[in-house]
Structure 1
Amino acid sequence: MVALLALVASLLALSSQTAAVPVDASRTSIADLKFPSIPSGAWWCEYSPPWIQEFLCSRSLSTSLSTSVSTPLGTAEGAVDTSGVVRFAVKYGSADRWQPSSVATVWALPSGASNASGLPLACPQNDLDASGYSEDCLSMILYVPSSVTPASNAPVLMWIHGGSFTSGSATGAGLDGSALATATGSIVAVIQYRLGALGFMAPNGQTNLAVKDTITALQFLQTVALSFGGDASKITVDGQSSGANMIRALLAAPSASSLFEYAILQSDPMDYGFLNTTMQSSLQNYFNQQLSCSASDTSCLDSLSLDDILTAQTSLSNNAYSTVPAAGQSEPIRPVRDGDLITSPLDLTAPFPSQSKTIMVTNVVDEAMFTIYSEFPSAISASYYDDVVDGTFGSVSGSRLLSYSSYAPSTTNADGTQDARPQLSQMGTDQVWRCPTWTFARNWASSGGTAYVGMYTAGASYPGNSDVPECTDSGSVCHQDDIEIVFGTAPSPTSAQSALITEIQARYYQFLRTGNPNSGSYATWSATDGQAISALELGGSGTYAVGACDPSQWGDAVPYDYQVYDI
């Protein structure tokens, strides 16, 4: 008995010493505390109380994170990052040029990685040195936190990056999934997919190859998730800007529905809509004319250099608007409603199909600020503002827009001059992002699904946004400024940013498991009822005002682009 008491006393002393070890405040379980290593063969572990066995003895086997995991595709080798998360870079699929991708059948490091610590090369894109990309680029990075064990059945979040379908990668700024994985107790997969002409402009007329790449990534996760402690039935897709547009394409593809449970769409430019097959065909014909090969000459097409393809892509992007006005100037290369993979426009141009999934859709308050203030670096007068609006929307829609109180020019500078750029920025935000998103959410809920609508009223300035000084002003939240909040990667965050990161990741923790983003004492986030939108302010308090996103205004009195062009 004396010996047993001495053993218990020594163990309690050991546990009290470990209590002094710094603990990551984002962790929520005692199982995540870092206990010192105990010899796995310690004889007394067998006779200790259960709690000691769980947190001192058995835990000693898992505190040294496993970087080698057996999967149905072979052994996965990973690397521990500075946060203690194990990172696995892997090739999830492969594809011949301008052909559909197929799921990987063996576990293999991605192009650009010579060992488990390596990261994938990006997919080919302009404005990136050729040494930084590879056509063999269908890769993802898995982030597996220490809290996830083989028996965890943890949720999986698959992130799809933005970049107007022509740029971006899994290694983009702020996309390190370690903090997000740790805070949510989930496996985070950050993927990349074929971009631009290689993903959307197959000369033989095949469409949506890039969309099919994301489906291939989901199929890969279905195969390997369990090996890492993930639950293949609890996959959430999340993406920002064109990444969110890609998720909307997945939601419109019945064949993809069984591969994920929930969806999060951040800053989707829904005003553009999917292209239809006639528009895609016209763009395709223009692109093919830029190539030195016929559409049927596979050998010639395969021999084209990536420089030649990217040059032809640039020409298409520069001339898409004049070739097909519906393509627009900002995102002319995008998913196509082909009637095969993507079967619905998911907008006001056709009956909305029945839905059952739960989605979260968010915007930031100044979506259009970077674009507007880049185009107009100096103040614009009220009269010039009127001319810009009329010239953009036509006199009828223009006069209606100018009659809305939301867009009345009223900003006066310190010197007494007027500047209507804030109103133009608000109009652009409402037109391209916020109002079509709210329309989409109403339709989603009215058709049987569940939609939570949010508005980021605070954020973290994303790299590059400082090119527009107004985007760094206090209170501004420009396009992309939500990314580092979600991932928890904001450098030197303020106390307000840290609080918002903690809140968003707590909401994600719940949403990934239950489809409900409500957590603890945070403000109640109500789903839309299909009529009224209760957009929760993320970083503020209360709900964001409807303003010009009233259903009788955008989408009715003033049509969206997808209505104007009957996409």
Structure 2
Amino acid sequence: MRSTQPESHHEVKVNKLEPFPSRLDMDTSDDGDELSRGTLENTPLSSLGPGSGQGQGVHQLDQGQSAFEDQYDIDSSQTRIEPVLHSVSSSVSTAFRCIEKHLYSGLRHTLGRADRRSLDTIRSDYIPLQSESDNIHKYPYEYPSRLTAYLRQTFTKSLFLMASLFALFLTLFALIHWTTAKSIWDTTSDTGSPCTVSALGFSAKGLSTADGACRYTVRYGTAERWGESNFAWDNAKNQSFTDLPPACPQQAGTYVSANSQSEDCLFATIYAPQSINLFSRLPVLVWIHGGSYTAGSASAPGLGGSKLAVKGNMIVIVLQYRLGVLGFLPPSSAPSWSNPNLGLRDVILALKGISKGIDFVGGEKDKVTIGGQSSGAGLIRALLGVSEAKGLFRAAILQSDPMSYGNSPNAITSKVRDIYYSLDPLKSCNDLQCLRAVSYASIVSAQEQLSNTAPLLVEGLPLSMAIRPTFGNPTLPTDPTVSLFTDPSSLPSSGIPLLLTTVRNEAGSAVSEIFPNPVPISADTYFAALAATINANRAQQLASSKASEYALPNATGYGEGGDVFRETYERAATDGIWKCPNWDVASQWSRMGGDVWVGEWTEGVTYPSNKDHQYCKTHSRVCHEDDIYPTFGTAPDTSSAKSSLEEDVLSYWSNFITNLDPSPSPAKRSIRHKSFRDWLEWFWPFKRDSPASLLPPRASPESDWTAYKSPDDVFTIGGGEVGICPEGFWGEKVKYDWQIYGQ
């Protein structure tokens, strides 16, 4: 610490600290008359500050490495992070000594006594940052900024000194940028691949995509069956980073084939621009796939993140998590039975890993947005109520979340568990060891039986969602939707910006499954279909409703247009399960002070699961999952109309992920990289314009979104009009599932 005794000439001596040694060939004279020449041998720069006058102690770098390893769960015996950071720190120190010493000495000679002390204080506050492994990238930004702010006040006429300072620190930044980027994010290799990186103790060679991105598949966790997942630092090194991962066990179909599955499935597929480096500081989208909690994978159709990563200048990460019984319904003999949300905990683990490591590969942990579709969006809604997830993301995108369905209470989950484990071959097992020996193919086969029978036996179980997250446990204490309306301050992630969207014909896929062809108008058939969807009590309320939107016409046959029955049924299910609960949640979120934007897809691209659904392929309908292709810009249809839709959506989503507004005004745009004008502004402030090449495409003024306050603020993605939610109907006359079963 700096001495507080009366001024006198003395020689400062500091013991050598490891593991980041550096020397500064200079001595200070506290009387401030002039700078004497001397030597401080083996003195780390951190020992020169912070000053005691600000109540701060000397940085202890010998403890810094241990703290770093503890924070990031890195075992130095298993990784190479220590020598990498040691090399980086030494290089930074060398560049700093050669420039800063002479600059500091020259400035000090020109100052009076009081000004010298102010300069010393600033210097001692910021020099330690260059030696801290976790803050290397901050040094060239923070020290010069504060020093030059001081110079503006003290040397208004010293233009020569300020110009010299500017030139010297440009040189310093270039040296540090080249050294750290080369050491931590090495974008070259022996083969010249632009997708070979070295970070966090291991090297990974990814796949170069046609869109100009790099794709890496990384194992983030491991877990035994029905056990807690853990970080996979060791196993992450022993894998192929170019292959897409095996899917978690599920029924083969649209999302995955039968021969590409494994219980070792906790992988993240990462897409990043090839130009990325340590200083890119890019925003991050973490995508959680849908599939009714029983299906889906990072390799499902349309989930390639290359175009979104390049066009939006961001990192896109697609997560896999345990599904179905293996992810959400452990047996009562498993330790996890009382905290059954294993798939949800997988996502939390991945988010923690991203928060710990993304800064080392060019991302920024404070700019993580989570996004998901269908049950993936449902998992995000659950995450809003998880204390352990607080701070791991700053915004969320929920697409086609069936928000009427809350999470499952323990009573319903227990009934579903009893049904499942009474099926063959599970019922023959009396202990956990036996259950763990059952093949995952048999687990999935029994799960299909459960999905077909349980909704008919258990009240409150959605027709298409027999398995889902459970609340009333340590991970998820309450249903987050219930908490939003009854005790919003208890939500750990309340108030973050949200982007909520639904498609125009959400229920079209389900209606087409039940009624593959048009059916005659029939009140009895209508009631039976509604009862299977939302239970008999609410079906009666809906069928007898005076709301014209959901009333069957008093007619026979197929009605005007030839498909009135299916259209009416689909409209009731779309509004009651998806659209109207989303709007109600948006209204409440806004009332509680959170920013939220709401959109409806009036145009989409037919998803493979809908290609055989005649209902979804006529009259320009947009059914569930038809928003996936345009979200990622991966539509197989390359027509100009679809390309225009993709460009618009990529712009909206990139704007939201980057600026927390799907169509921000120019004043809200932020600069994501330090440019020549940024450095110049330290000396001569001026209004900054964002470099066009670094920003997502700008939406036209007439297509700007409006933060949601009322249904008038719903944005149409694809143009056209949006239908209404009858006032006082959904959530009041006809209750949502979460209102009935979520208490």
| TM-score of the two chains, using structure 1 as the length reference | 0.83
Aligned to 1:10: none
Pairing 1:189–2:317 present: yes
Q: How has the CA–CA distance of structure 1 residues 332 and 415 changed in structure 2, closer, same or farther, with 3 Å as cutoff?
A: closer
CA distance in 1, matches of 2:542, 2:318: 43
Pairing 1:375–2:514 present: yes
CA distance in 1, matches of 2:447, 2:538: 35
Q: How has the CA–CA distance of structure 1 residues 526 and 141 changed in structure 2, closer, same or farther, with 3 Å as cutoff?
A: same
Aligned to 1:121: 246
Which of residues 225, 234, 244 in structure 2 aligns to 1:97?
225
Give 1 or 2: higher helix fraction: 2
Aligned to 1:108: 236
CA distance in 1, matches of 2:263, 2:421: 19
> How far 1:76 sits from its partner (Å)?
2.4
CA distance in 1, matches of 2:561, 2:711: 39
For 2:445, the aligned partner's letter is T
Which of residues 442, 454, 458 in structure 1 aligns to 2:587?
442
Aligned to 2:550: 407
Q: How has the CA–CA distance of structure 1 residues 319 and 96 changed in structure 2, closer, same or farther, with 3 Å as cutoff?
A: same
Q: How has the CA–CA distance of structure 1 residues 391 and 483 changed in structure 2, closer, same or farther, with 3 Å as cutoff?
A: closer
Alignment deviations for residues 65-113 of structure 1 (CA, whole Å, 9 cap, x no partner): 6322222252222121222211111101111110111122246268xxx
CA distance in 1, matches of 2:658, 2:202: 28
Aligned to 1:540: 719
Select the structure with the greater relative contact order (CA < 8 A; seq sep ≥ 6).
1
Whether the aligned pair in 2 keeps the contact of 1:321 and 1:332 (CA below 8 Å) is yes
> How far 1:289 sits from its partner (Å)?
2.8
Gaps of 5+ in 1: 1-48
Q: How has the CA–CA distance of structure 1 residues 499 and 230 changed in structure 2, closer, same or farther, with 3 Å as cutoff?
A: same
With 353-362 and 476-485 compared, the bigger mean Cα shift is at: 353-362
Pairing 1:526–2:651 present: no
Pairwise mapping of residues 385-400 of structure 1 onto structure 2 (< 5 A)?
Answer: 386-388=526-528, 391=531, 394=536, 398-400=540-542
Pairing 1:165–2:307 present: no
CA distance in 1, matches of 2:303, 2:361: 20
With 96-105 and 180-189 compared, the bigger mean Cα shift is at: 96-105
Alignment deviations for residues 440-495 of structure 1 (CA, whole Å, 9 cap, x no partner): 11122222222111000001111131211231224211110100001000013322
Aligned to 1:85: 213
CA distance in 2, matches of 1:533, 1:340: 39
Aligned to 2:160: none
Aligned to 1:559: 735
CA distance in 2, matches of 1:375, 1:483: 23
| Number of corresponding residues | 508
Whether the aligned pair in 2 keeps the contact of 1:89 and 1:109 (CA below 8 Å) is no
Alignment deviations for residues 168-197 of structure 1 (CA, whole Å, 9 cap, x no partner): 110000111101111110000011110100
For 1:420, the aligned partner's letter is F
Pairing 1:149–2:288 present: no
Q: How has the CA–CA distance of structure 1 residues 320 and 396 changed in structure 2, closer, same or farther, with 3 Å as cutoff?
A: closer
Pairwise mapping of residues 50-449 of structure 1 onto structure 2 (< 5 A)?
Answer: 66-106=194-234, 108=236, 115-127=240-252, 130-203=258-331, 204=334, 205=337, 206-290=339-423, 292=426, 297-348=431-482, 351-354=486-489, 355-384=494-523, 386-388=526-528, 391=531, 394=536, 398-400=540-542, 402-409=545-552, 419-449=564-594
Whether the aligned pair in 2 keeps the contact of 1:69 and 1:227 (CA below 8 Å) is no
CA distance in 2, matches of 1:238, 1:285: 33
Pairwise mapping of residues 475-494 of structure 1 onto structure 2 (< 5 A)?
Answer: 475-494=620-639
With 387-396 and 317-326 compared, the bigger mean Cα shift is at: 387-396
CA distance in 1, matches of 2:441, 2:451: 15
Q: How has the CA–CA distance of structure 1 residues 458 and 532 changed in structure 2, closer, same or farther, with 3 Å as cutoff?
A: closer
CA distance in 2, matches of 1:376, 1:353: 40
> How far 1:373 sits from its partner (Å)?
2.2
Whether the aligned pair in 2 keeps the contact of 1:368 and 1:478 (CA below 8 Å) is yes
> How far 1:136 sits from its partner (Å)?
0.4
Gaps of 5+ in 2: 1-169, 665-697
> How far 1:417 sits from its partner (Å)?
5.7
Alignment deviations for residues 368-416 of structure 1 (CA, whole Å, 9 cap, x no partner): 1111122112323333454446745547753555421222446996998
Whether the aligned pair in 1 keeps the contact of 2:352 and 2:392 (CA below 8 Å) is yes
> How far 1:532 sits from its partner (Å)?
4.8
Alignment deviations for residues 131-185 of structure 1 (CA, whole Å, 9 cap, x no partner): 2100000001100112432211000101111111111110000111101111110
For 1:406, the aligned partner's letter is E
Alignment deviations for residues 105-126 of structure 1 (CA, whole Å, 9 cap, x no partner): 246268xxx6332111100112
CA distance in 2, matches of 1:414, 1:294: 53
Whether the aligned pair in 1 keeps the contact of 2:348 and 2:388 (CA below 8 Å) is no
Pairing 1:458–2:603 present: yes
Q: How has the CA–CA distance of structure 1 residues 224 and 237 changed in structure 2, closer, same or farther, with 3 Å as cutoff?
A: same
